[in-house]
Chain A
Amino acid sequence: MILKALFAATATGALLLALPASAAQLTIGFSQIGSESGWRAAETSVSKQEAAKRQVNLKIADAQQKQENQIKAIRSFIAQNVDAIFLAPVVSTGWDAVLKEAKEAKIPVVLLDRDIDPSGKELYLTAVTSDSVHEGEVAGDWLAKTVGDKACNIVELQGTVGASVATNRKKGFDTAIAKHPNLKMVRSQTGDFTRAKGKEVMESFIKAEGGGKSICAVYAHNDDMMVGAIQAMKEAGLKPGKDILTVSIDAVPDIFKAMVAGEANATVELTPNMAGPALDAVAAFKGKGAVPPKWIQTDSKLYTAADDPQKIYDSKKGLGY
């Protein structure tokens, strides 16, 4: 992957020199964080697809998790006089100087996936991000609707302690189930967003709750932990998806595989398509001068077994998750 990234960086560098920006076609520079997770890789491939669909010339610079690389990439985009810059910021602070340079060059900047420190609000055009509190709410609402009036003991696999995504996904879910007194959170523990820890923690939940008999649903802050939890339930002789309902977040391909097997019930998508709405906003801004709102919230779509999981799996597996 490092080699690939290096190659991609060199290739982008070469492209930057070779291609003059044509007047009709928009040229947009995208400073991507890197490829620290499968989701990030999928975001990069979807961004390319979305740009190709709109015939936008998208130049992607891979920063390999380093802010200084992102700042360099942005400066190089400014020097190339691109029509707009997309930035998936690796950290939330330290962007003021370089974003001011972009503003002086009259190049709009759109933030993708993550927000930056509020001090720089006037320095970017808009931010396209998902609302992770809302994701938790969608998951909670689905569970409340599915369970109905029955009493339901829920166990929760949290993300890494202190990660804002974990805190928000917990908050949203808690808000949603608070409206339903029959839904009760009995256990909550961190699974560090990983399969191995998800499995280990679920094993302990099953033992602590009388062999899993009293558990009615599992809520996991990401699909990977749920994949681990599903294995733990199967090994304990339980039937995930039937004995115990499952709902998780992210919509990675493997959870759809579990859905096909009838072992998972629902997932809330964290869409890898952040570039699509961003491209539309830039096109409208450049064309008609329409100023987009400061925050464009992406759709947190709910998928269940009724949504043809096999088809979704096939469409997602090539994206690099």
Chain B
Amino acid sequence: MTALLPRRGLAQILALIVILAVDRVVSPQFFDLRLQDGRLFGSLIDVLNRGTPVALLSLGMVLVIATRGIDLSVGAVMAISGAIAASLADSHGLAVVLAAALGAGLLCGLWNGFLVSVLGMQPIVATLILMVAGRGIAQLITEGRIVTFTSPDLVWLGNGAVLGLPVPVAIALGMLILTGAVVRGSALGLLIEATGGNARASELAGVGTRAMILAVYVWCGVCAALAGVIAAADIMGADANNAGLWLELDAILAVVIGGTSLFGGRFSLILAVLGALIIQTMNTGILLSGYPPEFNLLVKAVVVLAVLLLQSPKLPGLAGIAARLRRAKA
């Protein structure tokens, strides 16, 4: 557990508590919970449920960023997997639907990983290709319309409940535990960090950096595909134009809020997911507050800035300089 939650998580936890407190002020019923059709119902559950897609994306993204990479295509991969799932849902069983959708995500990840690790392309350019083309592929699959389905299995994946928790939340939790067990239960996490810290030195030390890079992009693709299936299941339809649109940026933001550097190296899965929750707690709070929507993005920017400032290692130093200046004046 100590490996999953290092001491540097304090700033994020503090930020989450502060934002939760603000949400409680703007919306007094924020912490109210009740059972509705066997499922917990309340704003807190909304935060978890709506935060799921970005949390899943951030699970893959944090590993990619730890290798000093970036994956801009996750939003488009969501659109592709959602489109595949929705197109197959009413004619095939859930196992086939999931296999096809996640398989597509795996292929997308392989493609990105191949461009970055084998061809040596810069990650931002390599994944930009799929970011642009992926949405086109999704639109080809849906023929530009919103493909709806009624398959109760797939609908359950988006709207059902496990022990009162929405299924998407349970899935995200499961994925966090699985990813954590794989990368922290073995030396894999360390090898990923080494690759990001200094790829050449790691290579010379015998780390299979190419395989590492390929693996993280594949995992990122699978996570994105899962997020896409959940997003489609949630609205009982695949909207290729809008599914996952700009979510790659939220995922990157979640990772950064989680304290993982874009220059690679040390990473924390649990803090990345916490970052996703911070973003969603803020979004839900904005929706509940009743402020005019013109303020949404402004509020978001200010909060993100505050959270990142809170983490800045230079901040205590700046405060010290200010104090010295004051003393000098006095």
Docked Cα-Cα span, A190 to B300, in Å, equals 15
Docked Cα-Cα span, A320 to B143, in Å, equals 9
Docked Cα-Cα span, A1 to B294, in Å, equals 34
Chain B residues whose CB sits within 8 angstroms of the CB of A224 once the complex forms:
146, 239
Binds B, one of A34-42, A66-74, A240-248, A298-306: A34-42
In contact, A207 and B29 (Cβ under 8 angstroms): yes
Chain B residues whose CB sits within 8 angstroms of the CB of A207 once the complex forms:
27, 29, 32, 42-43, 46, 288
Determine how close the nearest CB of chain A comes to the CB of B49; give it in whole angstroms: 9
Q: A204 with B43: in contact, given A194-B242, A195-B235, A235-B36 (CB under 8 Å)?
A: yes
For B241, give its contact among A37, A199, A205, A231 (CB under 8 Å): A37
Closest B residue by C-beta to A196: B235
In contact, A1 and B139 (Cβ under 8 angstroms): yes
**Counting CB contacts under 8 A, is A27 at the interface?**
no
Chain A residues whose CB sits within 8 angstroms of the CB of B43 once the complex forms:
204, 207
In contact, B290 and A196 (Cβ under 8 angstroms): no
In contact, B288 and A204 (Cβ under 8 angstroms): yes
In contact, A200 and B50 (Cβ under 8 angstroms): yes
Docked Cα-Cα span, A37 to B143, in Å, equals 10
Docked Cα-Cα span, A199 to B293, in Å, equals 16
Chain A residues whose CB sits within 8 angstroms of the CB of B193 once the complex forms:
none
Chain A residues whose CB sits within 8 angstroms of the CB of B136 once the complex forms:
1-2
**Counting CB contacts under 8 A, is B117 at the interface?**
no
Chain B residues whose CB sits within 8 angstroms of the CB of A227 once the complex forms:
235
Q: A189 with B293: in contact, given A1-B140, A195-B237 (CB under 8 Å)?
A: yes
In contact, B27 and A38 (Cβ under 8 angstroms): no
Q: Map CB proximity to A onto B237-255 as digits: 1 under 8 Å, 0 otherwise.
A: 1010111000000000000
In contact, B235 and A228 (Cβ under 8 angstroms): yes
**Counting CB contacts under 8 A, is A203 at the interface?**
yes
Closest B residue by C-beta to A158: B293
For B145, give its contact among A194, A201, A203, A321 (CB under 8 Å): A321
For B293, give its contact among A2, A41, A188 (CB under 8 Å): A188
Determine how close the nearest CB of chain B comes to the CB of A232; give it in whole angstroms: 10
Q: Map CB proximity to B onto A211-240 as digits: 1 under 8 Å, 0 otherwise.
A: 000000000000010011001000111000
User: What is the size category of the interface that chain B forms with chain A?
Assistant: 35 or more
Closest B residue by C-beta to A34: B144
**Counting CB contacts under 8 A, is A192 at the interface?**
yes
**Counting CB contacts under 8 A, is A254 at the interface?**
yes
In contact, B27 and A208 (Cβ under 8 angstroms): yes
**Counting CB contacts under 8 A, is B296 at the interface?**
yes
Q: Using a Cβ–Cβ cut-off of 8 Å, how many residues does chain A contribute to the interface with B? A: 38
**Residues of B283-309 contacting chain A, CB below 8 A:** 284, 287-288, 290, 292-294, 296
In contact, B294 and A192 (Cβ under 8 angstroms): no
Number of A-B contacts (CB under 8 A): 93
For B41, give its contact among A36, A205, A231, A236 (CB under 8 Å): A236
In contact, B236 and A231 (Cβ under 8 angstroms): yes
Docked Cα-Cα span, A320 to B234, in Å, equals 23
Docked Cα-Cα span, A254 to B146, in Å, equals 10
**Counting CB contacts under 8 A, is B148 at the interface?**
yes
Closest B residue by C-beta to A205: B287
In contact, B290 and A2 (Cβ under 8 angstroms): no
Docked Cα-Cα span, A254 to B136, in Å, equals 23
Chain B residues whose CB sits within 8 angstroms of the CB of A231 once the complex forms:
159, 235-236
Interface centre among A41, A195, A210, A320 (most CB of B within 10 A): A195
Determine how close the nearest CB of chain B comes to the CB of A212; give it in whole angstroms: 11
In contact, A196 and B231 (Cβ under 8 angstroms): yes
Chain A residues whose CB sits within 8 angstroms of the CB of B27 once the complex forms:
207-208
Docked Cα-Cα span, A57 to B268, in Å, equals 63
Interface residues of B (CB under 8 A from A): 27, 29, 32, 36-37, 39, 41-43, 46, 50, 136, 139-140, 143-146, 148, 159, 231, 234-237, 239, 241-243, 284, 287-288, 290, 292-294, 296
Instruction: With A1-B136, A4-B143, A208-B29 given, name 10 new contacts (CB 8 A).
Output: A38-B145, A41-B144, A188-B292, A195-B239, A196-B234, A204-B284, A204-B288, A207-B27, A207-B32, A320-B144
Interface residues of A (CB under 8 A from B): 1-4, 35-38, 41, 158, 161, 187-190, 192, 194-196, 199-201, 203-205, 207-208, 210, 224, 227-228, 231, 235-237, 254, 320-321
23 residue pairs of the A-B complex, CB under 8 angstroms, read A1-B136, A37-B144, A38-B145, A38-B146, A41-B144, A188-B293, A196-B243, A203-B46, A204-B287, A204-B288, A207-B32, A208-B288, A208-B290, A210-B29, A227-B235, A231-B235, A235-B36, A235-B37, A236-B36, A237-B36, A237-B37, A254-B148, A321-B145
